[in-house]
Amino acid sequence: MDKFNKPIIELKNISKSFNTEPILSNFNFTLYDNKFITILGPSGSGKTTIIKLIAGFESLDNGDIFLNGIKVNDLPANKREVNTVFQNYSLFPHMNVYDNIAFGLRMKKKSQDYIDKAVRDSLKMIKMEKFADRKPGELSGGQQQRVAVARAIVNKPLILLLDEPLSALDEKLRKEMQVELKSMQRDLGITFILVTHDQEEALSISDTVIVLNNGKIEQIGSPQEIYQTPVNSFVASFVGELNILDAKIEAVEENLVSVIVEEECKYQLENKNNFSTGEQIKILVRPENLRLSLEKDSIIPTKLKGKITQTKYRGALLDYVIILDNGKKVTATLLQNKKEGICEYKIGTEVFVEWTIGCEVLTK
């Protein structure tokens, strides 16, 4: 945190309700760097509301918004140095691509030469130089999306807001655009704030992820932090697949705890959360960290027994759904490659489950 720079964005104690239903209450967030930020959350979590408040399309009930240190609560949307890429692009249908992109610059009364150069440059950047005269109705979804981004970026805003910009695109196009957006952000050095509910998207392109739920920030961190060390079960289960095992703390020794997992197996794990003896906790493990085998282990049981009930072939990966003896369901994901050996268990096979120690997260 750099104390001498003003934060790019600061949201202080924001509250916002729609029709007496509170969306955000006492929401706080500060951003210093020019990075690619993603706000990730389920529908209704308030993520679109935050964008609208920053852009100025909605007004605050309570709290303050600062952009570059200046309070902008009452500043109307058309005066804020923020630009938005809308979910359905909202390209002006009666103007061609050139005029769409030039619009913001014309509003700022830039000179014709400046506008022409800026628009041509941005058309080059999105590789659509030949489309300047086309109308939005003549463009494909992906092309419209790029024009929408160009129209916003050409104004060199402080922050670029993107409201689920890729949700209408097909899988392949989406992945291409994700890469393009990422490199655009790097090249331009503008802060991008992207809103999405797609956790894979969030993980792959962000520098920082904010996980939002019911108007509250659950966790802020890098994609790695969010995925590998989620602070609670919401974050853990929202981002990626998750297995939740019940365990009881048997003993505490220095920084290790002995746990009985699913009343069957005994493990010694790192005690990061300062649990005490007798506590009931949950152990969160990602499916890719589970290991399956057909052999029982030695005298002290460390593997959970179960039966395979479903398999899902995913090309490079194979998912197994296993029902443990005590009824609990877990999912294991195994990599399929020639080196490890193609390992296919059939439905009904009895297997033994364990996980790579150290890859788990303990929580209440």
Partner 1 sequence: MMNKDLFKHFTILTIVAWLTVFVLIPNIGVVVTSFLEREEAHFVSFTFTLDNYKKLLSVMYIKVFLKSLAIALYVTILCLVFSYPFVYTISQTIKSIIIKDFLLILVIIPFWTSSLIRTYAMMIVLRSNGLLNNFLMYVGLIDEPIELLYNWVAVTIGLVYSLLPFMILPLYTAFEKLDRNYINAAQDLGAGKIDTLLKIIIPLTKSGIAAGCILVFLSTLGMFFIPELLGGSKEILVGNLIKNQFLIARDWPFGTAIGTVLTVIVVILMVIYARNTKNTDQLVV
By C-beta, is 102 or 318 nearer to partner 1? 102
CB of 108 to partner 1, least distance (A): 6
Interface mask toward partner 1 for 49-88; x: CB under 8 A: ------xxx------------------xxxx--xxx-x-x
Task: Output the smallest distance, CB 103 to partner 1, in A.
Answer: 5
Of 107 and 347, which has the nearer Cβ to partner 1?
107
Minimum distance of partner 1 from residue 229's CB (angstroms)? 37
**Does 139 participate in binding partner 1 (rule CB under 8 A)?**
no
Among 107, 335, 347, 357, binds partner 1 (CB under 8 A): 107
Interaction between residue 104 and partner 1 (CB under 8 A): yes
Looking at the Cβ atoms of 153 and 226, the one nearer to partner 1 is 153
Kindly determine how many residues on this chain lie close enough to bind partner 1 according to the rule CB under 8 A. 24
Q: What is the Cα–Cα distance from 209 to 223, expressed in whole angstroms?
A: 6
Q: Kindly identify the residues of this chain, within the stretch 140-199, that bind partner 1 according to CB under 8 A.
A: 151-152, 155
Among 90-98, 166-174, 179-187, 219-227, the segment contacting partner 1 (CB under 8 A): 90-98
Q: Pick between residue 193 and residue 308 the one whose CB is nearest to partner 1.
A: 193
Question: Please, what is the minimum distance in Å from the beta carbon of residue 82 to partner 1?
Answer: 8
Segment contacting partner 1 by CB under 8 A, of 27-35, 102-110, 282-290, 318-326: 102-110
> Interface with partner 1 by CB under 8 A: which residues?
55-57, 76-79, 82-84, 86, 88, 90-94, 103-104, 107-108, 151-152, 155
